[in-house]
Structure 1
Amino acid sequence: MTVATERPTRFASLNPATGEVVAEHPVHDAEAVAAAVARAREAGRWWRGLGAKERRLRLLNVKGSLTRNLNRMAETIHQETGKPLADAQLETILAITHLDWAARNAAKVLGRRTVFPGLMALNQKCELEYQPLGVVGVIGPWNYPIFTPMGSIAYALAAGNAVVFKPSEFTPGVGVLLAEIIDAVVPEHPVFQVVTGLGETGAALASSPDIDKIAFTGSGPTAKRVMAACAQNLTPLVAECGGKDVAIIDSDADLEAAADAALWGAMANAGQTCIGVERIYVVEDVYDAFLATLTARAEKLRPGFDREAAYGPITMPKQLDIIERHIADALEHGGRAVVGGPESVRKPYVEPVVLVDVPETSAAVCEETFGPTITVHRVRDMDEAVEKTNATTYGLAGAVFSGNKARALDAARRIRSGMTSINAFGTFASVAALPFGGVGESGFGRIHGADGLREFARAKAVTRQRFALPLNPSSFGRTEKEMARLVQLVNMMHGRRYK
């Protein structure tokens, strides 16, 4: 006999450092998601009708309110992720700067403009504008629960869309607080709504026939499931997935600065960063000196939930198994731990782990670890570093450290990724004018910047005939003589050879 079990109607978000319940939230089912999308459809029509100037004003006021609630938001992030309060504050500040940029630049990027028609259509007045899609669904991650989804939320709202946001089940309170802040500034219609729940809630959002686009951040396997759900209705998707990002250390790099930046990139947020440094390739001339500097710094780091801790716990419990497996695999295949080791996994924390002599085929090198571990590799030169950097299915970001500008730029451009920083870690993420996104298994599409605004709009082209041309080839009344003149004209314009 089969016993029917009721689906839970509420779930708890937990502090991963203490296991204590932070808050309880409703599990929104498919019917609740559909109702939210329907409300968003109506709200989106009102939001679009306000016009760019009024939307700009309201979003700037949302930014102001979020700024005044910065510490409240940071505390919520701190409680739900376990990351240090200062890191949560920094994350919120970055979200604020992106909201500001999107609000201030949407009209300029998306507004109507004229386009030169070319000699063949001189009688046409040509205009191009970018119109709102309607309703955008955003499925957010837990590791940066305000900054990462804001890269979609702010830009979608600024482009004139309504947004339905499904935060991670590990950080629902961040989304609920953001909705509270936006509702207070824009009370007339629910242009921003939050639906909370587990995977089924996100699946209902992705498979909704009334969603015009989904913005997803998460793992590659989950992205594939979201894509399958979107495919049912040909719903377009922008996906920001994982990475196996690299720091390359040139022979003339400032080793102290490079070690400091690379270590932050590897260990900040307990290594739970999609653009985090997971591999370091060091030119052999400075390998030993760099490794000594890196390990000396890494040994001083301590995880915890107190204010003095360098970083917090592993937010998602099952990630601990992956971290343990990667460390074990590296050691089994000849790698050595020069900082930490298997004993560094002290649930829910992982102490810093620095691995060397790890084969390129090891899981610790090939797969995303998402923990405070790093592999350091000796390479012959920058060419070998770039070659090994690109020997992966991922392609999100990376960093190059070098005292030679030309060599650094050359390496940065050859790295197969969406973003690369030189002599710093991840600075592109803080520059709101730059696009953010990856290639390969790191996803597709772009958030942030002008590309991010256009990601949540549809291009609309309009032509208007100003006067009739003496020759009209798109008519059944055309003559052979007129076509001969047209062919002659095209040959004059386009038929010459170029040297």
Structure 2
Amino acid sequence: MTIQEADINLLPDPAPLVGGERLTSTSGGVHQHVYPATGKPTVEVPMAGPADVDRAISTARAATESWRRTGPDTRRRLMNDLARALVARADELAALQIVENGTPQTVAASFPHMIADHLEYAAGWCDKIVGEVNPVWPVPGFDYSILEPYGVVAIIIPWNSPLYSIGSIIAPALAAGNCVVVKPPELTPFTSLRFAEIALEVGFPPGVISILPGGGEAGSSLVAHPGVDKIHFTGSGPTAQRIIQAASANLTPVALELGGKSANVVFADADLDAAAERAVGFSLQLSGQGCINGTRALVQDAVFDEVVELCRRKAEALKPGDPHSADTAIGPVITNTACERIMGFIDRAVAEQQARLVTGGTRLSGEFADGYYIAPTVFADVPADSEIAVHEIFGPVLSILRFTDEEDAIRIANSTRYGLASYVQTGDVARAHRMASALDAGMVWINGSGGLPPSVPFGGIKQSGQGRLGGKQGIAEFSRTKNVWIGM
């Protein structure tokens, strides 16, 4: 299992892209990108530093007024043109995602189409961002409110799904009339850079979209910069706390999409085979590297052993392999450091007898020895207060917990500091609605998952974040209200 020379040749110039131009020298050093499936280096990534952040924000500010005044029909056309261009190059973009972070081909192939859908949906809002006429008293007047773009939006995206993230966040920001400066992680810069190159090709003005691959130094400079009007961050809670502190100096508004420890509640009246399929799929997709993954399966006592056995069989049926292969279900995790961190959770759970190891629990060897592969892992009889039930592991680990009744399930599900997603499997419609009301989460899926279509609001509560993407709430997230009063 090797990375092909053709894959390396696909990679775009990894230097920052600002105002339609590559930065030939950067101030943030260099990062050696590594292909997670083999542990082998690919190319060196020039990293943005404070001087490059200054340049990108200045360029975006210079483009702001023109882009804001661009007619909604033109913005709509450009966004639809970009969507079509991304679909036309879907194979290339999927291949870049595979090289970036080892996402299996079957998953990576869907991302270009998903972000095209987000762009087309948001494009439809360009000519529908309307204001309101407001009644006023006691002085006669004509009063109206309008939505305006913030101006320059700083967007920091994660490494687990960089192509989907840039598309789903940029789409409403552009539709609302903002310019964006995007910082992809140094681990996964390629799809973001290609996205911006394609945007330039279809006619987006230089400066509307700038891409700054970088690490913590670039991120710190970006969120503290006085030229940024809004920040959108996707990542970890500790980093979000630092961002809020930095943004407070300029009182810059911040939207956050953070971690999760999502509960998947399986009642005895559910279709158990389907419920087990979902429990394994919801938790182990993307090798467990997903914020909305249902990594805590809460199973009712009466069917607990049956569901655990079903989950074991389904987890063991997931085939690890070369991410380029169409039959690979489990790819690598992102880095060796991540691999060691995840194995630390697993090893402690076994050594401390936190729970019963049902399957997995090992780092894969043999043909996978040089890559960052972990066997799909299932623990059962997991206490609700144990480390693997409380902390976001961000790896291919499913924890199965017991509950007795509906009240017990709600108590356990809500016992986490997170509140991003939750899942319920039941044949009782009334119970489904009661659970949806009682669960502390920004999203609840009942008997399956509809994914994240661009028409629905997505976001968390508690320590899973604030703000929303998708639907009209996503447009509002990147717009601010101005009120106008005219004396009569």
Asked if these proteins are the same fold (TM beyond 0.5), I'd say yes
**Deviation digits for residues 19-51 of structure 1, max 9, x if unmatched?**
233333322211111111111011121111112
Aligned 8 A contact 1:125 1:465 in 2: yes
1:149 matched to 2:166? The reply is yes
State the alpha-carbon separation in 2 of the partners of residues 329 and 146 from structure 1: 34
Alignment of 1:18-417 (within 5 A): 18-108=38-128, 110-115=129-134, 117=135, 120=137, 123-306=140-323, 307=325, 308-331=327-350, 332-342=352-362, 348-417=372-441
Cα offset, 1:465, TM superposition: 3.6
Amino acid at match of 2:474: G
Alignment of 1:404-483 (within 5 A): 404-425=428-449, 427=450, 429-466=451-488
Cα offset, 1:343, TM superposition: 5.5
Total equivalences in the alignment: 456
Amino acid at match of 1:439: I
State the alpha-carbon separation in 2 of the partners of residues 434 and 327 from structure 1: 35
Amino acid at match of 1:260: E
Amino acid at match of 2:124: R
Aligned 8 A contact 1:275 1:396 in 2: yes
Aligned 8 A contact 1:265 1:277 in 2: yes
Amino acid at match of 1:101: Y
> Using a 3 Å threshold, how does the CA distance of structure 1 residues 173 and 164 change in structure 2: closer, same or farther?
same
Amino acid at match of 2:304: Y
Amino acid at match of 2:35: N
> Using a 3 Å threshold, how does the CA distance of structure 1 residues 56 and 14 change in structure 2: closer, same or farther?
same
**Deviation digits for residues 413-436 of structure 1, max 9, x if unmatched?**
2110111111113x2x42212111
Aligned 8 A contact 2:150 2:480 in 1: yes
> Using a 3 Å threshold, how does the CA distance of structure 1 residues 315 and 334 change in structure 2: closer, same or farther?
closer
State the alpha-carbon separation in 2 of the partners of residues 154 and 22 from structure 1: 30
- Equivalent residue, structure 2, for 1:3: none
- Equivalent residue, structure 2, for 1:470: none
Amino acid at match of 2:282: G
State the alpha-carbon separation in 2 of the partners of residues 261 and 358 from structure 1: 19
State the alpha-carbon separation in 1 of the partners of residues 330 and 363 from structure 2: 18
Secondary structure of the corresponding residue to residue 111 of structure 1: coil
With structure 1 as the length reference, what TM-score do the two structures score?
0.87
> Using a 3 Å threshold, how does the CA distance of structure 1 residues 23 and 334 change in structure 2: closer, same or farther?
closer
Cα offset, 1:7, TM superposition: 7.2
**Deviation digits for residues 80-112 of structure 1, max 9, x if unmatched?**
11011121111222222111111112432x323
Secondary structure of the corresponding residue to residue 107 of structure 1: coil
**Deviation digits for residues 207-249 of structure 1, max 9, x if unmatched?**
1110001110011111112222212211111111111011111
State the alpha-carbon separation in 1 of the partners of residues 364 and 463 from structure 2: 29
State the alpha-carbon separation in 1 of the partners of residues 27 and 300 from structure 2: 56
Amino acid at match of 1:445: G
Aligned 8 A contact 1:22 1:80 in 2: no
State the alpha-carbon separation in 1 of the partners of residues 186 and 457 from structure 2: 27
Secondary structure of the corresponding residue to residue 67 of structure 1: helix
Secondary structure of the corresponding residue to residue 127 of structure 2: helix
State the alpha-carbon separation in 2 of the partners of residues 204 and 409 from structure 1: 45
Cα offset, 1:322, TM superposition: 2.8
Secondary structure of the corresponding residue to residue 125 of structure 2: helix
State the alpha-carbon separation in 1 of the partners of residues 275 and 165 from structure 2: 25
Aligned sequence identity (%): 35
Aligned 8 A contact 1:446 1:452 in 2: yes
Cα offset, 1:464, TM superposition: 2.8
Aligned 8 A contact 1:16 1:82 in 2: yes
State the alpha-carbon separation in 2 of the partners of residues 421 and 122 from structure 1: 49
63-72 or 318-327: bigger deviation: 318-327
Cα offset, 1:287, TM superposition: 1.6
Aligned 8 A contact 2:166 2:192 in 1: no
Amino acid at match of 2:328: A
State the alpha-carbon separation in 1 of the partners of residues 166 and 438 from structure 2: 29
Please list every run of 5 or more consecutive structure 2 residues that lacks an aligned counterpart in the other structure.
1-25
State the alpha-carbon separation in 1 of the partners of residues 229 and 27 from structure 2: 29
Secondary structure of the corresponding residue to residue 295 of structure 2: strand
Amino acid at match of 1:199: G
Aligned 8 A contact 2:48 2:218 in 1: yes
Aligned 8 A contact 1:329 1:364 in 2: no
State the alpha-carbon separation in 1 of the partners of residues 278 and 224 from structure 2: 41
> Using a 3 Å threshold, how does the CA distance of structure 1 residues 164 and 86 change in structure 2: closer, same or farther?
same
State the alpha-carbon separation in 2 of the partners of residues 418 and 126 from structure 1: 34
Amino acid at match of 1:327: I
State the alpha-carbon separation in 2 of the partners of residues 165 and 440 from structure 1: 26
Cα offset, 1:309, TM superposition: 1.7
> Using a 3 Å threshold, how does the CA distance of structure 1 residues 122 and 424 change in structure 2: closer, same or farther?
farther
62-71 or 315-324: bigger deviation: 315-324
Aligned 8 A contact 1:114 1:128 in 2: yes
Secondary structure of the corresponding residue to residue 54 of structure 1: helix
Aligned 8 A contact 1:83 1:305 in 2: no
State the alpha-carbon separation in 1 of the partners of residues 151 and 235 from structure 2: 24
Please list every run of 5 or more consecutive structure 1 residues that lacks an aligned counterpart in the other structure.
1-5, 467-499
Cα offset, 1:344, TM superposition: 5.9
350-359 or 287-296: bigger deviation: 287-296
Measured on the aligned residues, the alpha-carbon RMSD in Å equals 1.9
State the alpha-carbon separation in 2 of the partners of residues 43 and 67 from structure 1: 27
State the alpha-carbon separation in 2 of the partners of residues 155 and 349 from structure 1: 35
State the alpha-carbon separation in 2 of the partners of residues 412 and 325 from structure 1: 34
